[in-house]
Amino acid sequence: MGVWGKPARVEFADGYEELWLQTIGDRTEALEHGHEAMQRKLLEFRPGSERAEALKQALALAAPDDVVELALAAERSEVGAGVRREVADPVRPRQDRAAGEGDEAFARRRAEHELRCQEIGLQREARLAEVLGARRQELMRLPREELAEKAFPRRVDIECWNAFARTCDDWVLLRAVRRADAHDAPYFNDIAEIQALHPAVKEQLRRAYREIEPAEADDFPKLSAAGATSG
């Protein structure tokens, strides 16, 4: 795998700096550190911990509509699975050559099957919206403390994925940003320097990296605006 790079002019607090950014190729290191950060964050919210209790209290005091959406998101996968069982897929057709079914006749049956699958998809979407709407009304009637308990898993999930995204992001930038006058020399000495960067500086570096590795940058970890936290 080749390495591509480009010069970049980035604005720091004390002025502009000329840098060199290059692709890092293998992201195994970044992903490993990201998963470690996710696990550490998860441990912060273990049952009975101060962080877990503080988060539950914050959810109990938050706007009910927001907490309901979190609780609903926590149940969405299970609800979706139930809808898929309720509105089952049609049986995929197979050509019956033993009965003399020709290619043209089978093509017609396959086209009918594809149309039926589209109809099933629309039915599922409508049914899912109906079930989620009813569940949303049920959640709205719950006491705040009980609602907070139901929203808690989803909020912890967001915290963990944000930790994963931030850490992957930091390690990619640590390896990608080089000195303009010596491309084999890292610009930052360690991950702590990346972590201490102002968010606006990080975003400049992210944009510059996206220009040299657009296909990979589409998968570059992105923080959820709704789920981003300060710590």
The dihedral through the CA atoms of 150, 153, 156, 162 has a sign that is negative
Tell me if 179 is assigned to some domain: yes
Closest among 152, 174, 175, 140 to 64, alpha carbons compared:
140
Backbone angles phi, psi at 168, to 5 degrees: -60, -45
- Give the pLDDT band of residue 226 (cuts 50, 70, 90): very low
pLDDT at 215 over 90: no
Q: Quote the tokens at residue 54.
A: 């503080």
Number of H helices, E strands in the chain: 8, 4
Can you point out the beta strands (E) in 41-148?
A: none
Residue 226 domain-assigned (yes or no): no
CA distance 229 to 231: 6
* Mean pLDDT value of segment 50-64: 95
In this prediction, residue 96 carries a pLDDT of: 86
Share of residues in the chain with pLDDT > 70 (%): 91
Percent of the chain with pLDDT over 90: 77
Does residue 224 lie within any of the structural domains? no
| Within a domain: 222 | no
* pLDDT tens sequence across 3-16: 788 999 999 988 99
For 48, the domain range is 5-217
Write out pLDDT tens, residues 76-90: 999 999 999 999 999
For residue 53, name the pLDDT band (cuts at 50, 70, 90).
Answer: very high
Task: Pick the more confident residue, 66 or 210.
Answer: 66
Domain-located, residue 63: yes
pTM: 0.75
DSSP symbols for 144-198: HHHHHHHHHHHHHHHHHHHHHHHHHHHHHHHHHEEETTEEEEESSSSHHHHHTS-
> Which pLDDT band, with edges at 50, 70 and 90, does 229 fall under?
very low
Query: Rounded mean pLDDT of 124-138?
Result: 96
Strand partners, 7: 20
Whole-angstrom Cα distance, residue 162 to residue 18?
Answer: 30
Q: What pLDDT was estimated at residue 181?
A: 93
| Separation of alpha carbons 226 and 101, rounded Å | 55
CA distance 126 to 11: 49
Question: Largest alpha-carbon pair distance within the chain?
Answer: 80
Q: How does the average pLDDT of the chain come out, rounded?
A: 89
The verdict on residue 228 lying in a domain is no
Q: What's the CA gap between 213 and 218, in Å, rounded? A: 9
Q: Given this model, what pLDDT does residue 219 score? A: 46
The total number of structural domains in the chain stands at 1
CB atoms near residue 185 (< 10 Å): 10
Is 22 among the domain residues?
yes
Region 114-124 average pLDDT: 95
Evaluate whether residue 229 is within a structural domain. no
**CA–CA separation, 26 vs 168, rounded Å?**
12
Residue 69 pLDDT: 96
